């Protein structure tokens, strides 16, 4: 995206598709407030009226577990954007007196309820679902369901026109809805900006930094970082025991490394998700055996399903120097307090997308971050504030 394109640029245009409305589901209220603040600021600078684009909505439940969607303001004729985090397990509801955490299935049902509540009155429905529902079950190996593909088709049938997701586990799931708008966005610029801000003495050159892919599935992400930074790329591949299945997957026997020496170099590892974190830590320990310098890992979704204790230990032992993750999904208060965790704020990026789509402007400059990264590296080289 070029410098001359700012948030006000969109609101200075007169070709809005329709009035803008945003529904931030309960799971995404915090992120929704940040996005709205950017949009309101841009609208005011361009002399547009309006104090907020957020529309109040909720999904109350009966004690039996049944629920309903309720939109508390008119959205007739509006360009409606719905923001949801299907991974937010901090949202709770009562079922026969028992308190339950909402699962991705529960969030998806509530999303459909809100779309139904709109009653076809919105001019257009756009969905921002950073963590794609069912995205980890992206292919069929045996007699298995294809949850993500079916969910996308269901949303299309409900009238959703566009879906914006971030760092999908496998973006080829969009083949299930080939004529529906589907943008898979990688927040690489925001990640590098957070990395340079948090680690000011990091030197992004071949002599001091190396990118390492944690497995073959993450190669395209790490190839991009290696390419734009002009540094070497290495990779690990997972040697699995295909004779048995443990917790739904073939257990990893060993991580094998392919690439140049990492001795004395800082290492940056990028992946889409840190789930248990077991693989990321195994790789970090392997890199330390090879005399790597500081190790910084990044995941778009740092969810830590097995807790933080192992990462605390790795940080104290000097194995991991920092972990970066976005605010696109729920982060526990304990994680946010960790010295080793650094948050990548993507709210402004999403606000750009909403403004561009609402004005029927191309998002290609927003998706392609090469120019912004080039400017970022130039600032880094010149010693300017990032």
Neighbours of 136 (CB within 10 A): 16
Return mean pLDDT, the chain: 90
Residue 139's pLDDT band, with cuts at 50, 70 and 90, is confident
CA 188 to chain centre: 11
In sequence order, what are the residues at sequence separation of 6 or more whose Cβ sits closer than 8 angstroms to the Cβ of residue 279?
214, 215, 238, 252, 255
Q: Identify the pLDDT of residue 228.
A: 94
CA neighbor of 108 nearest in space, from 116, 120, 99, 97: 116
Residue with tokens 């609208």: 43
Task: List residues bridging with 37 in a β-sheet.
Answer: none
Q: Identify the pLDDT of residue 3.
A: 44
Residue count (the chain): 386
Neighbours of 209 (CB within 10 A): 22
Query: Residue 132 pLDDT > 50, yes or no?
Result: yes
Residues 169, 136 contacting (CB under 8 angstroms): yes
Q: What angle do CA 90, 195, 84 make, to 5 degrees?
A: 30
Give the sign of the dihedral formed by CA 254, CA 260, CA 263, CA 269. Answer: negative
Neighbours of 205 (CB within 10 A): 11
Query: Residue 13 pLDDT > 90, yes or no?
Result: no
Query: Residue 12 pLDDT > 70, yes or no?
Result: no
Residues 165, 126 contacting (CB under 8 angstroms): no
Residues 320, 313 contacting (CB under 8 angstroms): no
User: Rounded mean pLDDT of 198-221?
Assistant: 93
When comparing pLDDT for 251 and 48, which is higher? Answer: 251
pLDDT over 70, % of the chain: 94
pLDDT tens digit sequence for 39-49: 998 888 765 56
Question: What is the 3-state secondary structure of 326-355?
Answer: ECCCCCCHHHHCCCCEEEECCHHHHHHHHH
When comparing pLDDT for 276 and 249, which is higher? Answer: 276
Return d(Cα 84, Cα 32) in angstroms, integer: 9
Long-range contacts of 236-243 (CB under 8 A, 24+ apart): 236/212, 236/283, 236/286, 238/279
User: Rounded mean pLDDT of 284-292?
Assistant: 94
User: Rounded mean pLDDT of 115-137?
Assistant: 94
Residue 28's pLDDT band, with cuts at 50, 70 and 90, is very high
Q: Which tokens in the block code for residue 111?
A: 């999303």
pLDDT tens digit sequence for 57-111: 999 999 888 999 999 999 999 999 999 999 999 999 999 989 999 999 999 999 9
Return d(Cα 91, Cα 26) in angstroms, integer: 7
Sequential DSSP letters for 233-250: EEEEEEEE-TT--BTTBP
Query: Residue 8 pLDDT > 90, yes or no?
Result: no
C-alpha R_g of the chain: 22
Q: Identify the pLDDT of residue 42.
A: 87
User: Rounded mean pLDDT of 293-315?
Assistant: 96
When comparing pLDDT for 139 and 309, which is higher? Answer: 309
Return d(Cα 82, Cα 163) in angstroms, integer: 10
Q: Identify the pLDDT of residue 2.
A: 41
pLDDT tens digit sequence for 157-187: 999 999 999 999 888 999 999 999 999 999 9
Residues 161, 179 contacting (CB under 8 angstroms): no
Query: Residue 1 pLDDT > 50, yes or no?
Result: no
Query: Residue 364 pLDDT > 90, yes or no?
Result: no
Return d(Cα 383, Cα 208) in angstroms, integer: 17
pLDDT-wise least confident of 46-50, 141-145, 308-312:
46-50
């Amino acid at each position: 995206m070029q410098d001359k394109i700012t948030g006000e640029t969109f609101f200075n245009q007169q070709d809005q598709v329709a009035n803008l409305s945003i529904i931030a589901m309960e799971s995404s209220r915090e992120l929704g407030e940040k996005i709205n603040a950017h949009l309101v600021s841009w609208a005011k600078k361009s002399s547009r009226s309006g104090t907020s684009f957020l529309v109040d909505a909720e999904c109350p439940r009966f004690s039996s577990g049944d629920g309903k969607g309720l939109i508390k303001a008119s959205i007739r004729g509006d360009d409606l954007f719905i923001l949801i985090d299907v991974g937010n397990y901090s949202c709770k509801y009562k079922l026969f007196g028992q308190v339950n955490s909402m699962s991705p299935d529960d969030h998806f049902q509530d999303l459909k309820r809100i779309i139904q509540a709109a009653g076809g009155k919105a001019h257009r429905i756009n969905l921002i679902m950073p963590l794609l529902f069912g995205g980890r079950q992206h292919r069929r190996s045996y007699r298995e369901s294809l949850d993500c593909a079916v969910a996308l088709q269901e949303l299309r049938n409900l009238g959703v026109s566009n879906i914006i997701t971030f760092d999908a586990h496998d973006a080829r799931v969009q083949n299930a809805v080939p004529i529906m708008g589907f943008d898979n966005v990688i927040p690489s610029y925001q990640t590098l900006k957070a990395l340079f801000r948090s680690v000011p003495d990091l030197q992004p050159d071949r002599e001091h930094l190396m990118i390492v892919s944690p497995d073959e599935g993450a190669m395209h992400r790490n190839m991009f970082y290696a390419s734009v930074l002009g540094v070497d790329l290495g990779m690990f591949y997972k040697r699995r025991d295909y004779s048995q299945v443990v917790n739904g997957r073939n257990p990893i026997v060993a991580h094998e490394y392919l690439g140049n020496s990492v001795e004395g170099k800082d290492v940056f590892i990028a992946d889409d998700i840190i789930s248990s974190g077991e693989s990321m830590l195994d790789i970090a320990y392997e890199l330390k055996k090879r005399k790597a310098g500081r190790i910084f890992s990044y995941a778009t979704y740092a969810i830590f399903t097995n807790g933080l204790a192992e990462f605390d230990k790795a940080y104290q032992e000097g194995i991991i120097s920092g972990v970066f993750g976005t605010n696109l999904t729920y982060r526990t208060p304990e994680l946010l307090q960790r010295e080793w965790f650094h948050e990548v704020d993507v709210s402004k990026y999403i606000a750009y997308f909403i403004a561009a789509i609402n004005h029927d402007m191309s998002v290609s400059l927003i998706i392609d971050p090469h120019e912004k990264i080039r400017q970022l590296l130039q600032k880094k080289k010149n010693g300017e504030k990032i």
